[in-house]
């Protein structure tokens, strides 16, 4: 930003002196070129992120370490279920059932926004509600409700390519109760974290959050595959009222 402002001011002064006093067109052109370079530098300075990528990754991994500590302390082994905000009072959350092989639970209205929530009448019919890397994605704007996978693909493209710059392409080749989402040029170079076994990777978490909100159905990450910069996420769609 300082470089751009300096080049614009110095280039303007140099161009005026060259034109009015020295009367040299080549020097005047050189001053105008300096102004143009200053404008480009000023624009680039304003597009730089306020927080570096390394800082963002440190904060993300610190949050995942806390979630991992909670998961290990409670002995949770079930796959997290990403819930639409229609059942979590407008706040994106993932539900981790306490029972590893939990039976089907029927959602009775909205869940309370607390750490432990009751899912049934049994002594172990509880779940843990946690914020995930995908929870804050909804703050970028409202995700439209839809039943079309092409709309979901367009929303993911807008968020992951246009806003977060985490991939170079998004494709959803098919539908059904299982959903496969393919990413080309995945740019999130994080180490495999213990929390991934329950929540999925950060990219999978963001994807599951968007799909759950867009389709209005609970979603869980069943598997992920990595092949260089190619990343594939397999999702399972749950009944809107049952887990």
Q: Token pair for residue 53?
A: 């990528």
For the stretch 194-206, pLDDT in tens is: 788 888 888 899 9
Q: Where does the pLDDT of residue 45 fall: very low under 50, low under 70, confident under 90, or very high at 90 and above?
A: confident
Mean pLDDT for the chain? 83
Where does residue 12 rank: exposed (0-12), middle (13-18), buried (19+ CB within 10 A)? Answer: middle
Q: How far apart are CA 10 and CA 31, in angstroms?
A: 8
For the stretch 181-190, pLDDT in tens is: 998 877 665 5
Q: How far apart are CA 204 and CA 181, in angstroms?
A: 9
Average pLDDT over residues 43-52: 69
Percent of the chain with pLDDT over 70: 89
For the stretch 71-116, pLDDT in tens is: 888 888 888 899 988 888 888 899 988 877 665 666 666 787 888 8
Q: Given this model, what pLDDT does residue 186 score?
A: 73
Average pLDDT over residues 168-183: 85
Which three-class secondary structure state does DSSP give residue 219? strand
The answer to whether residue 41 scores a pLDDT higher than 70 is yes
Other CB atoms within 10 A of residue 230 CB? 14
Q: How far apart are CA 117 and CA 111, in angstroms?
A: 7
The answer to whether residue 235 scores a pLDDT higher than 90 is yes
The answer to whether residue 46 scores a pLDDT higher than 90 is no
- Tell me the pTM: 0.73
For the stretch 15-39, pLDDT in tens is: 999 989 988 999 999 999 999 999 9
Q: Given this model, what pLDDT does residue 102 score?
A: 62
Q: Given this model, what pLDDT does residue 191 score?
A: 63
Identify the sign of the CA torsion 187, 192, 211, 48: negative
Higher pLDDT, residue 122 or 23: 23
Going across the sheet that includes 169-171, the strands are: 116-118, 126-130, 93-97, 81-83, 219-227, 230-237, 178-184, 169-171
Q: How far apart are CA 186 and CA 184, in angstroms?
A: 6
Tell which residue, 178, 234, 179, has the closest CA to residue 204: 234
Q: Given this model, what pLDDT does residue 207 score?
A: 92
Q: Given this model, what pLDDT does residue 65 score?
A: 84
């Amino acid at each position: 930003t300082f470089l751009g402002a300096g080049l614009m001011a110095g280039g303007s002064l140099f161009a005026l002196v060259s034109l009015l006093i020295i009367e040299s067109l080549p020097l005047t052109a050189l001053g105008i070129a300096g102004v143009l370079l200053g404008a480009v530098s000023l624009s680039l300075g304003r597009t730089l992120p306020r927080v570096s990528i390394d800082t963002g990754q440190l904060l993300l991994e610190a949050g995942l370490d806390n979630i991992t500590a909670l998961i290990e302390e409670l002995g949770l082994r079930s796959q997290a279920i990403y819930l639409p905000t229609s059942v979590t009072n407008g706040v994106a959350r993932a539900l981790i059932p306490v029972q590893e092989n939990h039976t089907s639970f029927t959602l009775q209205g909205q869940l309370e926004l607390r750490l432990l929530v009751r899912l049934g009448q049994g002594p172990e019919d509880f779940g843990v509600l946690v914020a995930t890397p995908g929870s804050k994605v909804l703050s970028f704007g409202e995700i439209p409700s839809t039943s079309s996978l092409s709309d979901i693909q367009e929303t993911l493209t807008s968020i992951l390519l246009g806003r977060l710059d985490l991939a170079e392409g998004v494709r959803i080749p098919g539908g059904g109760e299982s959903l496969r989402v393919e990413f080309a040029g995945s740019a999130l170079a994080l180490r495999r974290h213990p929390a991934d076994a329950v929540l999925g990777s950060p990219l999978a978490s963001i994807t599951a959050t968007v799909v759950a909100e867009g389709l209005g159905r609970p979603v869980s990450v069943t598997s992920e595959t990595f092949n260089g910069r190619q990343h594939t996420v397999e999702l399972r769609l749950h009944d809107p009222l049952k887990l």
